[in-house]
Chain A
Amino acid sequence: MIIFLSCIILFLIGLYAIVTKRNLIKIVIGFAFIEYAINLLFALIGFRQGMLAPIITQVDMPHRFVDPIPQALVLTAIVIALGTTALMLSVVLRIYNRYKTFDIAEIRKLKG
């Protein structure tokens, strides 16, 4: 149970960074935190105590395996996270080239 709570704490740390940090890079890092938290949660959901890796051989049968679906989902989620993080960082880099700053308070051409 404690290990599930640690996922939630990790998620909240990421959310805190996104909401309060003024540095664009730190906001992107906040998203990385949230993504890790969710991936960890997925891996924990599929985990069964004392079970084996889900690879079918002649000795190991499926009823002794951990749930393989969350692992597949995590792989997909990691790829999507990679895409968003790369896109975010490239936009941040472009913003830096325009404004010469990462501070979100100084980048205010658009209003509410």
Chain B
Amino acid sequence: MTFIPLFFVLPLAAAFIIPILGKIAKSLIWIFVTLVSFALFIIALYGVAVTQQVPMLVYKMGNWPPPLGIVMAFDSLSAFMTLVISILVFAGGVFSLRYMSHYTGQWKFYTLYMLITAGMMGIAITGDLFNMFVFLEIAAISSYALVAFGVDAEELEASFKYMVMGEVGGLTFLLAIALLYAKTSTLNLADISNSLQIIGQTPFFWMVLGMMLFAFSIKAAFVPFHSWLPDAHPAAPAPISSLLSGIFIKVLGMYTIARLVFNVFGLSRANAPVFFNVLIGIGLLSIAFAGVTALSQKDYKRLLGYSSVSQVGYIMLGLGIGNYYGVAGAIFYILAHALGKGLLFLTSGSVVYATGTRDITKLAGLGEKMSTTAWSFRFGELSLIGIPPLVGFFAKYYIVLGALKIGFWWLAVVAIALSVLTLGYLLKIENNVFMKKGKAQAKKAPFTMRVAMVLLVVLIVLLGIGFQQVVDFLVGPAAHALLRGVEYANLVFGSVALGF
């Protein structure tokens, strides 16, 4: 299928064209970026439509059949991820026009923006382990540079901290790849899956899986390894914070680990209950610890950063539950949190643009002056807390349902109870910034910023009301793609034979 490589070829090509545009016609860059990200969105929609009929599409790079050549394996989960990535890239791109206008070297920003997109898209569609590492590093290196984009002292320091943690994770992943290659002599995910089924759950199996879990826990910022995130995400420009918190940690951390655990290592709650209970533990620890820490934050974006660590825990919880409802809930939560947290970080950008400060104790009375921003914040907040009929409610509902189905009723109670933390820290911003009467100097957010925020609000409401369609066409197939386990390998090789 020839449209698959477009997902990373298009943004990569754009990344190389933007510097040339920067020399000739600066004003065209933003339009170009918006067009490219909208084109990605259309292709992703097409991909979702195609995967309704065909479970697995395979693109062979250079026409080498797997396992010899690199393949792009595109199934419903990849289609889902590419769709969510393209939505956030589009919203962030629209938002950037005015937000980035006071930075110098805008073409550098947009080049990195397209590179990070190419990296994320590549991870979502690749069917090759080393290829996954390369895309992961493309995305990670661009994100280090984007975090340091303002070159202030704090931003550089945050970027260095992020780089050190992120690279330890990336290199551990590379070491795990080396060990896996030594044992299986292949890099194709489907082929590795077949080999691992023969090897079985030996100590080697668990060692490699443990190293990968460590690596992706750093990338996804689970609690013992989360310390870079509350520094790095606030330091980046707001559209980048929105992209990083909204989807980047999920593609680099959650998607990769879900794909490897379910489809490559072939684990499920039936054959590895202890491992899945460990995943639940990691999730709960993240939710509780980061949630409590977020309550005491005074910095608008830093609070949201801790909130991201906490919310990602819910996704891990859903994966750890491991039945259909749990996994579907986790995937639904990726969508809900991407829209919700992406929106909240965009409102933070709008507030910083209007007032020049991120300290929520100094901000007051913005609810009347910036009504669009305030209302966008409220929608994102209610969705994250889980108020029906917004999209966040249904995601949480599925996770809780999954916990009940495997008989972990205490987990369902704890998951609902911990939502109170979300309510607590988000109301802190709501109260201080938007509800409290005050005379903060503020101007209205520019038109393009409001467009980007309203776009996400509309999606949060529409996808919440039409949740049954979302489950039928997006989330359900994606969950089935994960839960089919090692059948993944047969599908990849079978699709090659059939020519999909």
Contact = CB atoms under 8 A, between A and B. Distances in A.
Contact of A76 (B130, B161, B171, B231): B130
Given A80-B134, A84-B141, A110-B157, A70 B181 contact: yes
A29 interface: no
A88 B163 contact: yes
B163 A84 contact: yes
B111 to A, nearest CB: 14
A91 B163 contact: yes
A1 B137 CA distance: 30
Contact of A38 (B157, B160, B175, B182): B175
Contacts of B181: 42, 45, 69-70, 73
Contacts of B145: 87
A38 B174 contact: yes
A88 B175 contact: no
B288 to A, nearest CB: 17
Contact of A91 (B159, B175, B227, B231): B159
Interface string A34-77: 11001001100100000000000000000000010110010011
A101 to B, nearest CB: 12
Contacts of B134: 76, 80
A71 B158 CA distance: 35
B182 A31 contact: no
B332 to A, nearest CB: 32
Contacts of A83: 137, 141
B154 interface: yes
Contacts of A38: 171, 174-175, 178
Given A38-B174, A45-B181, A87-B141, A94 B151 contact: yes
Contacts of B137: 80, 83-84
Interface in B168-182: 168, 171, 174-175, 178, 181-182
Given A73-B130, A91-B148, A99-B153, A45 B182 contact: yes
Contacts of B167: 31, 84, 88
Nearest to B231: A110
Contacts of B154: 109-110
B164 interface: yes
A95 interface: yes
Given A35-B171, A41-B178, A76-B130, A109 B153 contact: yes
B144 interface: yes
Nearest to B152: A98
B88 interface: no
Interface in A85-104: 87-88, 91-92, 94-95, 98-99
Contact of B160 (A70, A77, A91): A91
Contact of A95 (B144, B156, B168, B182): B156
Contacts of A91: 144, 148, 156, 159-160, 163
Contact of B144 (A34, A42, A87): A87
Contacts of B157: 95, 107, 109-110
A18 B148 CA distance: 20
Most buried by B among A70, A83, A91, A99: A91
B120 interface: no
A97 to B, nearest CB: 9
A50 B239 CA distance: 55
B175 A41 contact: yes
Contact of A34 (B141, B171, B182, B231): B171
7 contacts: A35-B171, A38-B175, A73-B130, A94-B156, A95-B160, A98-B156, A109-B154
Q: Which are the 10 A-B pairs with shortest beta-carbon distances?
A: A45-B182, A98-B153, A80-B137, A110-B231, A95-B156, A41-B178, A109-B154, A94-B156, A34-B171, A91-B160
Given A98-B156, A109-B154, 11 more contacts: A31-B164, A35-B171, A41-B175, A76-B130, A76-B134, A84-B137, A87-B141, A94-B151, A107-B157, A109-B157, A110-B158
